[in-house]
Amino acid sequence: MASDSTAALKNVLSIGHLQSMDWKLGVAVASNHCANLSTPYVCITLRVCDPDSNVSTHTFDLTLIEFKVRSLRRCRSRARERVRASDRSSTRTAIRQEVR
Domain ranges in the chain?
14-99
Q: What confidence tens digit (pLDDT) does each residue in 58-84 have? A: 998 888 888 887 776 777 777 777 777
pLDDT score, position 24? 92
Q: What's the mean pLDDT in 47-57?
A: 87
- The yes-or-no verdict on residue 96 having pLDDT over 60 is no
Q: What percent of the chain has pLDDT over 90?
A: 5
Question: Of 36, 20, 16, 19, whose CA–CA distance to 28 is shortest?
Answer: 36
**DSSP one-letter code for 51:** T
Can you point out the beta strands (E) in 11-54? 17-28, 39-49
Q: Return mean pLDDT, the chain.
A: 75
Q: Please tell me the number of Cα atoms within 13 Å of 36 on its side-chain side.
A: 0
pLDDT grade, residue 38 (50/70/90)? confident
pLDDT grade, residue 7 (50/70/90)? low
Give, in words, the CATH class of 14-99: alpha beta
Query: In whole angstroms, what is the distance from residue 54 CA to residue 47 CA?
Result: 10
